[in-house]
Amino acid sequence: MVEHILGKDVVVSSILTGGTTKGSSSMINEISGFDFAKKHHIKNVLAILLDGNAVDLSATFPESAVAEAITREHPAALGIMRHTSAHIMAQALGELYPGTKFAIGPVIENGFYYDVLCDHQIVPDDFAIIETKMRSIMDENYEITRRTLSKPEALKMFSDLGETFKVELISDLEVAEVSIYAHSDKFIDLCRGPHLPKTGMASRHFKITKVSGSYWRGDAKRAVLQRIYATSWFSREDLEAHLHNLAEAEKRDHRKIGRDMGLFHQQEEAVGSVFWHPNGWTLFNILRDYIRKCVRQDGYLEVCTPQMIDRSLWEASGHWEKYREHMFIAESEERILAIKPMNCPGAVQIFKQGVKSYRDLPLRMAEFGCCHRNEPSGSLYGIMRVRSFTQDDAHIFCTPQQINSETKKFCQLLVKIYDALGFSSFSVKFSDRPAARTGSDEIWDLAEDLLRKATLESGLEFVTSKGEGAFYGPKLEFVLKDKLGRDWQCGTLQVDFQMPERLGAWYTGEDGEKHHPIMLHRAVLGSLERFIGILLENYAGKLPLWLSPVQIVVATITNQQDEYAQEFFAALKARNIRAELDSRSEKISYKIRYHSVAKVPLMAVLGRTEVEQRQITIRNIDGSQETMLFSEALDRLEKLCAAPD
C-alpha cells in the first residue's frame, strides 16, 4: 500500500486567481476536478485541494465547495507526483520480476520507496534496468483510475492475486470500504491516494538511489523484504542538486569519518552500542562538559538515577503500558526489572524525598542519563540510531504560573548552545494531543495554551504538528538544519501534568494545600551519540577547534627538532591544550597527510629554522600557515582552543 500523508498545515497558495469558488444557489451542482480546471482555464493541473484535502482530478464535489487547483508550483504537488512514481516503480518491478509480492511504499522526504518480496536479489546494477522500465510505463501513459471496494471484496481480490501483504493490511483496517488504484489493466494496488490522472504525467527526472533490507512491519520475526529507494523531482536541475547532496552526504557519513578520526567502532557482539576510542571519548566528554557548565550556570542541579528499576514504578508512570515492547527486561529474585528507557520516573523519586514548598520551585534537575531502548535491528544506523545512548536530560518541577518563564528560560539556553555548536538557524514544531493519551481534555487545553503562549513570548515562530505530542502532554521540537540543508530534530520541551500526579509528587502551595507540580521534560541535544554524529556530518569531520579531540599535532621535519618539539608539546599540555607529538622518522608530507585524514585542525611544523629562531609554524588543515614566536604561539593557541563561555 503506497501511503502519502500531506502536511497537516497545507499552505493554500494563490496559483489561480478566482480559483476558489463558493456557490450561492440552493441547488447543489456536482463537478469533477477536470471540470473545475477547464472552467477556470487552468493548465497542467495535477490534483485538486478540496476543503484543505488533496483529491484526484476525477473526484466530484459541489460547485460551492472551497477548491483549488494543484499545479507543479503548489506545495502538495511534489508529494502527489512521487506518490504516483512509487506505483510506477512497483509496476516496473512486477513486470521485470514475475512473482514479486508488494508490501508498502510510502512517500518520504525527498523521494519514496517500495518494499517487495522478490526472488530476484536486486542490486545496484539493476537500477538502470528498472528505471528504463519505469520510463516505458510513463511513455505508455496509462490512465490511473480509482474505485472503492467493500472490505470483503478487497480481501477476495488481493487474496486471488496472491498479495498476502495487502490481505493482512486490509484485514487490520477498521473500515467498511477501501480504495484501490489501477494503471489500466496492467497494475493494481491498495491505496488511499491521491494520484496523477495518467502515468505519463509523472516526472522523468528521477533516480533509484539504493536498495536495502527491511522486515515486514518492522518485526525481525517476519518476512525479510527488499526496500528500493528512489528520488523524483520536477526539474533536472533539482534532481542533479539532490544527487550532488547525496554524494556529499556519503562523503560526510559519520561512520566513515569516525573510522578516519579513530573515534569509535561498533560490532555485532554489542548491537546498537558504541565502543568509544580515546579520541571519541574525549569528544563525548568535551560536549558533555560544555552542556554541564551551561546548565549549572542556568540553575540546574545534577542528579543520577538507577539504571534498573522494578516494573512497578514503570506501571505507575504509565510507561509499562505504552512502552513495554521497547524496554530491556532483567529478572532477579523473582522480581522483574526494566533497564530504563528514559530518566523521568527516577527524577520524580528524587523530588519526592522530603517535603517541598512552592518556595522551592522551580526545581531544575539535570541528568546525563544512559538509557536503553530495544529498537529493531533494521532501524539501527551508526551512532545516529542506537539502543544504548546518553541524554542531556533535565526535568523542571514548577507551578503552572512558572511554565511561561521556565519555557522562555529554556529557549534562551537552547539558542545559546546551538549557536556555540554552529547551528544558529533552527525551526520549532508544536505538537499537540495525540489520539492515545492520558489526562482530561481540560488538562490538555491548559497545557497546550500555556506552552503555546510561552513559545510565542519567547519570540519563536512554530508550525503545528497535529496529534504528535507525547501521551502525557504537548511538546516543542527543535529542528536543526545542517550544511547540506538536512533537518535534524534534536531538542525537546514537554509539558507534563500527568506523571507527578501518577507518581504521588506534591508540594505545599502558598495556600497551605497540597498541589501536584508541573513537570517540564527538556533536552537540548537529545542523544549525545546522535548529536556527535550530526556534528561530524555537518562539519565533514572538521570540527570547531574547541570541540576537536586533538586540537594540534606537534610534528618534526627531522629528528634534530625532537628536543624543541618536546618543549613546545609540554608547554601546550600545561595550558590544557589537547596536543599530540609526532616525532616519527617519516617525511613531513606523510605526517601532514596522515593528520589531515584524521581531521586534526592544526599542526605545529618544526624544522631547523624554527629551532634556531625559537619560532613555531602553525599550519591549518586547509593548508594556510603562519609563523610566530614560541610564546606568542602559546598565547594565541590558548585563546583559540578555549571552549565558549
> Which H or E element spans position 476?
strand 475-481
Helix, coil or strand: residue 424: coil
Backbone dihedral angles phi then psi of residue 19, each to the nearest 5 degrees: -80, -15
Q: Which one of 56, 115, 392, 393 is the catalytic residue? A: 393
Q: Which residues contact 522 (CB under 8 A, 6 or more apart)?
A: 393, 394, 395, 396, 410, 491, 492, 493, 494
Identify whether 475 is a catalytic site residue. Answer: yes
Q: Would you give the DSSP letter of residue 439?
A: S
Exposed/middle/buried for residue 221 (C-beta within 10 Å: 0-12, 13-18, 19+)? exposed
Calpha distance 418→601 (Å, rounded): 21
Question: For the chain, give me the number of helices (H) and strands (E)?
Answer: 19, 33
* CA pair distance 231, 166, nearest whole angstrom: 24
* Angle of helix 403-420 versus helix 278-297 axis, rounded to 10: 140
Residue 483 bears catalytic tag? no
Q: Active site residue: 344, 398, 411, 641, which one? A: 344
| Separation of alpha carbons 398 and 358, rounded Å | 8
What 3-state class would DSSP assign to 563?
Answer: helix
Exactly one of 252, 373, 515, 530 is catalytic; which is it?
373
Question: Of the listed 372, 475, 515, 522, which one is catalytic?
Answer: 475
Look up cell 477548491; give the residue: 67
Of the residues 82, 87, 183, 395, only one is catalytic, namely 395
373 as an active site residue: the answer is yes
Tell me the HSE value of 234 on the side-chain side, using a 13 A CA sphere.
13
261 close to 543: Cβ distance less than 8 angstroms: no
Percent of the chain as helix, strand, coil, to the nearest 5: 35, 30, 35
Catalytic (active site) residue 395: yes
| 415 vs 431: CA distance, rounded Å | 20
344 is a catalytic site residue: yes
Is residue 118 annotated as part of the catalytic site, yes or no? no
Q: How many angstroms separate the CA atoms of 253 and 339, rounded? A: 30
Q: What residues are annotated to the active site?
A: 344, 373, 391, 393, 395, 475, 521
